[in-house]
Structure 1
Amino acid sequence: MYKILVPVDFTEDSVKASHYALALATAAPQAQLLLLHCYQDYLADADTDVPPPPEMTASEEIAERVINRNVDEAQDELEELYQQLRAQATTQNSHTRLERAFIHGLPEDVILDEAERFKPDLVVMGTKGESNISRSFFGTVTTKVVQELNIPVLTIPASYQGTWISKVAYASNFDNKDTKAISQLLQLLEPFRPELHCVHISKSENKQDQQQLHALQDKLTQTHPQASITCSLLEGDNVAKALHEYIQDQQIDLLALTTHKRSGFASILNPSLAQKLVLESEVPLLVFHSPDEV
């Protein structure tokens, strides 16, 4: 069973991510997709240890009605999105099991708890989320999810229109974990059987990089004889720009990067470069932990 967890906040970005996730799930023979909305009552969460007063004032009663109304509206939005996905699944002849969960609490805590319970193969999120892209991917919620979950996280750009994964670019730093990471990546994307492009960015052409590139290509050909894998060396001082141009030229559908728990960011990039790449990426970005850290 291929399981996908999709946290949603009903922004356009998260709704798009949920439809993308369903398209991914449909590719698997058996799949289960869980829509998760974390409802945070900021008034109630401000001081949860203080017991409620025996009698509410008029202003407190108004605040209580507002909170209840907001809860009802959020539940209605979750149900509406759930029904939209059910209709989409029917249209696509998808056999995906759809579920939804409405849970009160801090998003970063609820997502971690639900991931522990649901045990998804993949977490799919929109890139903007609550308010803007840097808060979602590099802010509290997604950073904590990436750092603490041993589960791949896939972020979907707001402008992305595709729904299928035919070509994947894996950014290599010629790390000794590359082979294991690529095996993990191919296993995760097995339902799509994509063409895999392993790329390494170098400031200038040098013999050592060429040797490492050929060694990686030979090893991958031996370990994955049935897979379509191409290794390429890109030249350029700007890593993000070089990747962007390659993605455009090769019509890549997804960019994959490994990350380390100690930093929470892609191993090939420093945090500022990683942020720039996500901000400007026109394709989904998959971040997963280095194999030895899982």
Structure 2
Amino acid sequence: MKKILYTTDFSKNAEQALPIALKLAKKHHAEIHLLHVFDIPTSWDYPYTEEPLEMERQAIRESEKKLNELFVQYSSDSVEGLKVIYHVIENPSVVDGVLSCIHDVNPDILVIGTKGGSKAREIIVGSSTKSLLSKSPVPVLAIPENISSMEFERILYASDLYEEDIKALEQLIHILEPFQPLIRVVHISNHDANFEAKKIEWFKELLKDRNLNKNIELIHHLSSSIAEGLESILSKNNFDLLVMLEKERHGIIDHLFHKDLVKKMEFRTRIPLLSFNQHHIK
């Protein structure tokens, strides 16, 4: 990876994501881009003038200063030498502001916090995070406020075993290569192993063809609900990261493993969620 984009609303919860963004940048020797999106009508911290353009300039200067202070606060000697670039964008929509920055910067990954506390009408939480999971053209790493681990050693990839998952797994391995993680792909269904055997064997062959079978363990978990199955697995195992592929529903399995599941699970775990979008898998 060459560029990592981190976005913040300057809340304490959003700050939880910065150490992980810095760790990724350090591991990959990548640029770290810090972004803040603001809206003038809600920027009540900058009431120095009634002139809109001057208020915007003041807001930009103050936000750039805060971004620099944030970087200094969380950086250390271990990240010395990292190239850091600050971005401040005025936009009434956080999502649109972030997407415009992604378009301009072309980062390899977006790192966000999943709960905010600013005065902005849209903050990095709830509908904004969900919308970014659906719309971002790059992988989104969402960091919960009660993160349980800062390491990426044990990874759970929830899959319904489609060919697009292979491409996502290849990107995942590239992103986490410096961490040399153990990746477990879990297929959750309400069918027994015999019913799923052909599909599992087909997916194993795909992994083998891409030379991924040595890095990945594939398991089948029986459950009447994908969400309940994931909850069960996560509660019984110490995973550091949950990975899912955001996709449109197509076929019987997708009635269970539909696109909204990614958005629901993000708020039901204390581990980071890495989401790939089916439409932007390279």
Q: TM-score range by the shorter chain?
A: 0.7 to 0.9
> Aligned partners of 2:258 and 2:140: how far apart in 1?
18
Tell me the equivalent position of 2:90: 104
Percentage of pairs with the same residue: 26
Equivalent position SS for 2:184: strand
Structure 1: segments with no counterpart, 5+ residues:
45-59
Structure 1 residue 18 corresponds to structure 2 residue 7: no
Structure 1 residue 246 corresponds to structure 2 residue 233: yes
Structure 1 residue 145 corresponds to structure 2 residue 132: yes
Equivalent position SS for 2:132: helix
Tell me the equivalent position of 1:55: none
Q: Which has the larger radius of gyration?
A: 1
Equivalent position SS for 2:69: helix
User: Is the 2:167–2:281 contact (alpha carbons within 8 Å) kept by the matching residues of 1?
Assistant: no
Tell me the equivalent position of 1:216: 203
> Aligned partners of 1:61 and 1:153: how far apart in 2?
36
User: Is the 2:204–2:213 contact (alpha carbons within 8 Å) kept by the matching residues of 1?
Assistant: no
> Aligned partners of 1:61 and 1:24: how far apart in 2?
38
Q: Which moved more, 1:242-251 or 1:14-23?
A: 242-251
Tell me the equivalent position of 1:207: 194
User: Is the 1:23–1:163 contact (alpha carbons within 8 Å) kept by the matching residues of 2?
Assistant: no
> Aligned partners of 2:71 and 2:276: how far apart in 1?
27
Q: How does 1:2-81 map to 2 (within 5 A)?
A: 2-28=2-28, 30-42=29-41, 73-81=62-70
> Aligned partners of 1:291 and 1:243: how far apart in 2?
24
Q: How does 1:113-192 map to 2 (within 5 A)?
A: 113-129=100-116, 136=124, 138-139=126-127, 141-192=128-179
> Aligned partners of 1:209 and 1:137: how far apart in 2?
37
> Aligned partners of 1:269 and 1:177: how far apart in 2?
14
User: Is the 1:148–1:261 contact (alpha carbons within 8 Å) kept by the matching residues of 2?
Assistant: no
User: Is the 2:138–2:280 contact (alpha carbons within 8 Å) kept by the matching residues of 1?
Assistant: no
User: Is the 1:260–1:293 contact (alpha carbons within 8 Å) kept by the matching residues of 2?
Assistant: no
Query: CA 1:224–1:160 in 2, change beyond 3 Å: closer, same or farther?
Result: same
> Aligned partners of 2:2 and 2:79: how far apart in 1?
17
Structure 2: segments with no counterpart, 5+ residues:
none
User: How many angstroms does 1:105 deviate by?
Assistant: 2.2
Instruction: For residues 219-275 of structure 1, give each alpha carbon's deviation from its aligned partner in whole angstroms, at most 9, with x where no partner exists.
Output: 313422574211111112232232123234332111111113799xxx663355444
User: How many angstroms does 1:75 deviate by?
Assistant: 4.1
Equivalent position SS for 1:101: strand
Give the counterpart of 2:71 among 59, 82, 101: 82
CA RMSD in angstroms, aligned pairs only: 3.3
Query: CA 1:38–1:261 in 2, change beyond 3 Å: closer, same or farther?
Result: farther
Q: TM-score, normalised by structure 1?
A: 0.78
Q: Which moved more, 1:186-195 or 1:249-258?
A: 186-195
Equivalent position SS for 1:108: helix
Tell me the equivalent position of 1:285: 273
Query: CA 1:261–1:144 in 2, change beyond 3 Å: closer, same or farther?
Result: farther
> Aligned partners of 2:235 and 2:155: how far apart in 1?
12
Query: CA 1:103–1:147 in 2, change beyond 3 Å: closer, same or farther?
Result: same
The count of residues paired between Structure 1 and Structure 2 equals 270
Query: CA 1:203–1:97 in 2, change beyond 3 Å: closer, same or farther?
Result: same
Equivalent position SS for 1:37: strand
> Aligned partners of 2:149 and 2:163: how far apart in 1?
33
- Residue 280 of structure 1 aligns with an amino acid whose one-letter code is R
> Aligned partners of 1:270 and 1:62: how far apart in 2?
49
Q: TM-score, normalised by structure 2?
A: 0.81
User: Is the 2:244–2:275 contact (alpha carbons within 8 Å) kept by the matching residues of 1?
Assistant: yes
Query: CA 1:258–1:104 in 2, change beyond 3 Å: closer, same or farther?
Result: same
> Aligned partners of 2:126 and 2:64: how far apart in 1?
27
Query: CA 1:261–1:103 in 2, change beyond 3 Å: closer, same or farther?
Result: farther
Tell me the equivalent position of 1:198: 185
Query: CA 1:143–1:246 in 2, change beyond 3 Å: closer, same or farther?
Result: closer
